Structure 1
Amino acid sequence: MKKYTIAFFDTKSYDEESFNLANEKFNFEIKYFKGHLNKNNVILTKDTDAVCIFVNDTADAEIIDAMALYGVKLLALRCAGFNNVDLVAAQDKMTVVRVPAYSPYAVAEHTVALMLSLNRKTHRAYLRTRDGNFTLNGLLGFDMHGKTAGIIGTGKIAKILIHILKGFGMNILAYDLYPDYNFARENQIVYTSLDELYHNADIISLHCPLTAETKYLINDYSISKMKDGVMIINTGRGQLIHTNALIEGLKNKKIGAAGLDVYEEEGDYFYEDKSDKIIDDDVLARLLSFNNVIVTSHQAFFTQEALGNIAHTTLQNIKDFIEEKQLENEVKIK
């Protein structure tokens, strides 16, 4: 009997290691491709049963039509977000599944790492001391205790983050279209309006999905409502922030620091080694020029536990599809 064939795109060595280990249980035939799925390489999906993609692959209507023509029955995302998939185009052509929660602890902990590094300037201190410079000028931080964190979106990741920040003794303001009032009551947090959150938060952290309503949620107007010197953290999706507005806020000191694990035009850079090339994205280059900005390469999820969970859940999603079981992680149009 022919093995079920899966084409993987945008794969790195760590993807192959984690999926090969998990596949010992499932015994699929996996074909790994290093490039992002796009219209120029979609022909590689020909004669495969399923296609597995990541955050920077493209699955628009044109590509979905081509994959369906080549015989693809299932599109499996090895990530939580699905804003790169045209669900309308896929509706009658193929099933779409995802990994909704591979390690919320990983992302929440990385969020805190960005906050602490920016606050206490550890990234700058590290570079200084290696050069023999042990001065403290420019490294002044603030006590997290007693400060207010504004959390936008209160899903699994945000709830873990809230528990950590409560441990620091921080006050928590939260905003969500669908508030969890039981959680708020049990953890002494306050749901409020966005305007109130912007006005009162010392640190703002983004944990909402990217939708038409949340695209460029952080913009010139919303930044104008924030406290002077506010810290903004984004471990969600790049287009939650209008990057030029963020840069203006940094230049005029309205924003005191920014920690970005995502960037709205990250597809050409993140997960790739560009160290021997000039960065020709002027906006990204400007961001990297600020000493009060930390950019990480969409790595918040990147722990051993998360990679194992991603691999197992992705392959289990595919197995459930083959066996015509109920798909717990199917993505459908709401």
Structure 2
Amino acid sequence: MRIAVFSAQPYDKQFLEQENSQHGYELSYFDQQLNEANAELCKGFDAVCAFVNDDLSAPVLNRLKAHRVKFIAMRCAGFNNVDLVTAKSLELPVVRVPAYSPEAVAEHTLALILTLNRKTHRAYNRVRESNFTLNGLLGFNLHGKTVGLIGTGQIGLATAKILNGFGCKLIAYDPYPNPEYVSLGGHYVELEQLYSRSDIITLHCPLNEGSYHLVDEASISRMKEGVMIINTSRGGLVDTKALIAGLKSRKIQALGLDVYEQESQLFFHDHSGKIIDDELFERLQSFPNVLITGHQGFFTEEALTQIAAITLNNLTCLAGDQPCENELTHAIS
């Protein structure tokens, strides 16, 4: 099988090559994001391996089908960038990696919470300059605080387990309750209650029509004064303009983002020598109580190993005409 790997970084090649020793596929790597303009690169390939910011809209899928691509393998959990209806109509199977070391993202979520709370990033810079004052570094105890989790799937559950160890009170919203979360002592509430009761709100749900801009001006207005908001899921879950307004009004005390709605133009590339034209992103960066990381929540050895293994195993199933539990298109009616 010939596989075109898009949005490929050196670490993608490292872990895919390690896993490919068991498969013997022909892997070709493209650092570009897949889009309609460069879909011609897929000529002669049996499968396309794509990532979170690649474009798999109807026009792109039609081009891939015309180039006789047989399979689409997403090496991520999210698939909001894939037109599954079109893929189904074109008989293009789409597979994904629904779970890869959920602890990786959960632990990064806690890293953002702890860094924003205890301001260790600012303390690091102060001490490097021999400034040992504590003014401006005041935090709070996580123990006893109420944390609202939106989504209690594998990553949300892993996050809840860690927070439970800190002695936090757990409340959550999820249309599909998880018995394991309840066994931790967590409680499910309606979104309205979660917004009004939570000291910290952390997002762990997929992006779809129902969850788009789940955090907006109206929902922020119902939150506690001084709330902390963390998003390590998908950028489109939050309205960036509403976040900025909430920060300016002091409603939001701290904001941690590992994802950003317009990240496809920024993340996974070095822009250090360039001027960033995204005014909303630059405005977010101007706040001292905002911490942004470049979609690195998944970035652990364990997670990358699992992503590579599951991705190639998914393709092996499809090539062998075997049922694949990680196929998306078969579930589309």
Shorter-chain TM-score range: over 0.9
Q: Deviations over 1:167-218 (max 9, x none)?
A: 11100011001112x3244211110011111111000000011010100000
The alignment of Structure 1 onto Structure 2 pairs a total of residues equal to 330
Equivalent position of 1:302 in the other structure: 299
Change (3 A) 1:132 1:56: same
In the TM superposition, what is the alpha-carbon distance from 1:297 to its structure 2 partner? 0.4
Write the mapping of 1:65-76 to structure 2, written as runs, cut at 5 A: 65-76=62-73
Deviation at 1:134, TM superposition (A): 1.3
The match for 2:133 is: 135
Q: Helix, strand or coil for the counterpart of 1:26?
A: coil
SS for the counterpart of 2:291 is: strand
Query: 3-state DSSP class of the match of 2:22?
Result: helix
Are 1:228 and 1:253, in contact at CA under 8 Å, matched by a contact in 2? yes
Q: CA deviation at 1:92?
A: 2.5
Cα deviation code 1:139-186 (max 9, x no counterpart): 000000011000000000111111111111100011001112x32442
Provide the C-alpha distance between the structure 2 equivalents of 1:47 and 1:68, rounded to a whole number of angstroms.
11
Runs of at least 4 residues off by over 3 Å = none
2:41 match: 44
Check the 8 A contact 1:184/1:191 in 2, yes or no. no
Structure 1 residue corresponding to 2:279, chosen from 278, 282, 285: 282
Q: Select the residue among 217, 221, 224 that pairs with 1:220.
A: 217
**TM value normalised by structure 2:** 0.98
> Does structure 2 conserve the Cα–Cα contact (< 8 Å) formed by 1:76 and 1:96?
yes
Cα deviation per residue 1:70-101 (whole Å; 9 max; x = unaligned)?
00010000000000001111113210000011
What is the distance in 2 between the residues matched to 1:105 and 1:187?
A: 16
Secondary structure, counterpart of 1:163 in structure 2 = helix
Partner of 2:118: 120
Q: Does residue 31 of structure 2 align to residue 59 of structure 1?
A: no
2:160 touches 2:181 (CA, 8 Å); kept in 1? no
* Structure 2 match to 1:156: 154
Per-residue CA distance 1:226-274 (angstroms, 9 max, x = gap) = 0000000000000000000000000110000000000000001101100
What CA distance in whole angstroms lies between the structure 1 residues aligned with 2:220 and 2:125?
A: 30
Report the AA paired with residue 233 of structure 1.
I
* Counterpart Cα distance in 1 of 2:240 and 2:164: 29
Which residue does the alignment assign to 2:20?
Answer: 23
Q: What TM-score does the superposition give when structure 1 sets the normalisation length?
A: 0.98
AA aligned to 2:286 is S
Amino acid at match of 1:172: L
Rounded to whole Å, the distance in 2 between the matches of 1:106 and 1:183 is 19
What's the secondary structure of 1:259's corresponding residue?
Answer: strand
Give the letter aligned to residue 70 of structure 1. Answer: H
Which secondary structure state, in structure 2, belongs to the residue aligned with residue 116 of structure 1? helix
Q: Which residue of 2 aligns with 1:250?
A: 247
The letter of the residue matching 1:74 is F
Report matched runs for 1:64-103 at 5 Å: 64-93=61-90, 94-103=92-101
CA deviation map 1:116-145 (0-9, x unaligned): 000000111111111221111110000000
Looking at structure 1, the residues matched to 230 and 128 of structure 2 have their Cα atoms a distance apart, in angstroms, of 27
* Residue 271 (structure 2) pairs with residue 292 (structure 1): no
Structure 1, residues 11-49: CA drift from partner, whole Å, max 9, x if none?
A: 010000111111000000011101000111100001110
Structure 2 contact 76–307 (Cα < 8 Å) conserved: yes
| Aligned-partner SS, 2:193 | helix
- Contact 2:142–2:167 at 8 Å: present in 1 too? yes
Distance between the aligned counterparts of 2:128 and 2:236, measured in 1?
A: 35
Consecutive unaligned residues of structure 2, counting only runs of 5 or more, are: none
Output the CA distance in 2 between the equivalents of 1:178 and 1:100.
16
Alignment partner for residue 193 of structure 2, among 192, 196, 199? 196
3-state SS of paired residue (1:232): strand
1:178 paired residue number: 176
Identical-pair percentage? 53
Take 2:296 and 2:56, find their aligned partners in 1: how far apart are those partners? 22
Does the aligned pair in 1 maintain the 2:58–2:86 contact within 8 Å?
yes
Supply the distance in 2 between the matched residues of 1:160 and 1:97 (Cα, whole angstroms): 24
Q: In structure 2, give the amino acid aligned to 1:120.
A: R
After superposition, where does 1:318-329 map in structure 2 within 5 Å? 318-329=315-326
Alpha-carbon distance in 2 for matches of 1:99, 1:158: 16
Cα distance in 2, alignment partners of residues 26 and 252 from structure 1? 55
Code of the aligned partner of 2:169? N
CA distance in 2 between partners of 1:251 and 1:311 (Å): 42
**1:48-75 Cα shifts (integer Å, max 9, x gaps):** 1000000010011000000000000100
What is the CA RMSD across the aligned residues, in angstroms? 0.8
CA distance in 2, matches of 1:264, 1:240: 8
Structure 2: distance between partners of 1:192 and 1:184: 13
